Structure 1
Amino acid sequence: MASLLLFGFPVQFELGGRLYHWHYLLETLAFIVGIRVYYYLRKGVKDPISDENRLWIMLGAMIGALVGSRLIAILETPDQLPNLTFSILYASKTIAGGLLGGLLGVELIKKFIGVRVASGDLYVIPIIVALFIGRIGCFLMGVAEPTYGTETRFWIGMDLGDGIKRHPVALYEMIYLVLLFLLFQGLKHQKMRNGDRFKLLMVLYFLYRFLVEFLKPYQPLFLELSSIHWSAIFIFLYYSKFLIRTCKAAFAKKPISP
């Protein structure tokens, strides 16, 4: 028989006399639901990329995410690099690194197969949904996983398992992801360049990660900034042309005459 343990963090469930974390189950669920949402949204959409090339692109994204999530994660704790082992490397992962690595993996595979059109817009909603489900698992882990915030007297501060009121940054991200979902639902019928929705998602998500990192106990990698900070800065530079073009378009709009 299975039972749910709700009192205190980490939140676990009991099955066959053993305790299990929800996090690993929700990680798998996030991947499965994200894939299903993608295929649901793709129905009836005229995709300029062939099914075969889409599979190659998804493979590039998964391999890139696998490498990037672990590389950025181990750089979050640079003082542990001299003692790095394969088991530590395998267990380390971060969503920001996964998105960054996935982006680079997609760009590399697209160059290899000769695809030059933007391919990310179809993944925007599936990514948001998958991230939200995954963050539920992170939140339920409390301080058992490094997705908690610093000590705070803010009213929403929570005891995540160590007796200290902390910023529940995983909960903050879940709220932010709901807002992103509503934003992109509102943009669904807006005319935008192919690929701009994905670029907007990456910029907005990494803007959040850059800012919320200051609410977490982090180890500086360089210039008092963590590997997550530098990942965000890379994304801002990578999409600088998009940011400049978007800002120009926003400020170029003439006010409506009375």
Structure 2
Amino acid sequence: MTGPTLSPAAAHVAHLLFEWLGIAVGVQLYRWQRRRAGQPPMLERGSFAVVIGCVLGAAIGNKAVFWIEMPMLWTDAAANWRVLASGQSIVGGLLGGLVGVEVAKKLHGITRSTGDQFVLPLVAGTVVGRIGCFLAGLNDGTYGLPSALPWAMDFGDGIPRHPTQLYDMLLVLAIGGLLWRWRTPLSRENGLAFKLYLSAYLFWRLLVDGIKPLPYDYGFGLSGIQLVCIAALLCYLPGLFRQLRRSQSHVPA
């Protein structure tokens, strides 16, 4: 199968366009959910601070994890500061956004969970953003290793590869669909849906990044993103399991 073969300039424009389109779609979905829940679409002060914390944290995490993934670029940054602004990471954006939200909640004395309303926006934003990654083809670092599978795609260099951008889209849609189907029982525990989404995506990226080119080997064939996923799961899973046990205790016998 033949995949997109855009020029570097066209690929950059397509990637940027779908990245911002994904953000716009996510914001509108977030507003729709608030209206559906009987909440005002305009954010009150505390919730606005949470959104700002999410955006700032995601922006920082986005770049930080990319630099962990591509440490060989650090030497180039000394000669050209623009290198520091290049690249991004969905994993970094998710984790950075999580930290930013928690910091904002702490500063404003918010104790309730705010993550569940972010699940659908994250699903939509990731799917739309990955369309841009797919169109960028070899100009983007999200394609997979060479493959002989029937659906492997040639992005212009004559080598069929895993279309890992499409794998990511399908997996995110599947997770989102399951969480939407189970939204009623999950709603008994605030924040549980978001924790499940984040944990599932981190575990998925730990696996699927194993069939992507390895930009820098940190040992045992693991990339920087995979190490970040492992560290995040070790920190996050205990809380998720505790909340899952609490949710089970709420189910009538």
Q: Do the structures match in fold with TM over 0.5? A: yes
Structure 2 unaligned blocks of 5 or more: none
- For 2:128, which of 129, 133, 137 is the aligned residue? 133
> Given the two structures, how large is their TM-score scaled by the length of structure 1?
0.85
Indicate the percent of aligned positions where both proteins have the same amino acid: 32
- Which one has a larger percent helix, Structure 1 or Structure 2? 2
By how many angstroms is 1:227 displaced? Answer: 1.7
Q: Root-mean-square deviation (CA), in Å? A: 2.6
Give the direction of change, closer, same or farther, for the CA distance of 1:222–1:36 in structure 2 (3 Å limit): same
Which structure ranks higher in relative contact order (CA pairs < 8 Å, sequence separation ≥ 6)? 2
By how many angstroms is 1:19 displaced? Answer: 4.8
2:234 is equivalent to residue 237 of structure 1:
yes
Tell me the equivalent position of 1:168. Answer: 163
Tell me the equivalent position of 2:196. Answer: 200
Tell me the equivalent position of 1:22. Answer: 14
1-side partners of 2:93 and 2:152: how far apart? 28
Amino acid at match of 1:24: L
Amino acid at match of 2:182: L
Per the alignment, in what secondary structure is the counterpart of residue 232 of structure 1? helix
Give the direction of change, closer, same or farther, for the CA distance of 1:46–1:149 in structure 2 (3 Å limit): same
1:139-187: CA deviations, max 9, x gaps? Answer: 1111111001111112221101221111110010111122112111211
Give the direction of change, closer, same or farther, for the CA distance of 1:26–1:110 in structure 2 (3 Å limit): same
- Which one has a larger percent strand, Structure 1 or Structure 2? 1
Contact map agreement 2:130 2:166 (CA 8 A) in 1: yes
- For 1:210, which of 174, 181, 206 is the aligned residue? 206
Give the direction of change, closer, same or farther, for the CA distance of 1:46–1:222 in structure 2 (3 Å limit): farther
2:220 is equivalent to residue 228 of structure 1:
no
Tell me the equivalent position of 2:54. Answer: 61
Contact map agreement 2:6 2:135 (CA 8 A) in 1: yes
2-side partners of 1:223 and 1:60: how far apart? 35
Higher alpha-carbon deviation: 117-126 or 50-59: 50-59
1:198-239: CA deviations, max 9, x gaps? Answer: 100100011111100100012223554222112211221222
Tell me the equivalent position of 1:33. Answer: 25
Tell me the equivalent position of 1:83. Answer: 76
> How many positions carry a matched residue from both structures?
242
Contact map agreement 1:11 1:22 (CA 8 A) in 2: no
1-side partners of 2:203 and 2:247: how far apart? 19
Per the alignment, in what secondary structure is the counterpart of residue 39 of structure 1? helix
1:3-39: CA deviations, max 9, x gaps? Answer: xxxx853347xxxxx9563221111111111000100
Give the direction of change, closer, same or farther, for the CA distance of 1:56–1:10 in structure 2 (3 Å limit): farther
Amino acid at match of 1:184: L
By how many angstroms is 1:240 displaced? Answer: 2.4
Structure 1 unaligned blocks of 5 or more: 1-6, 13-17
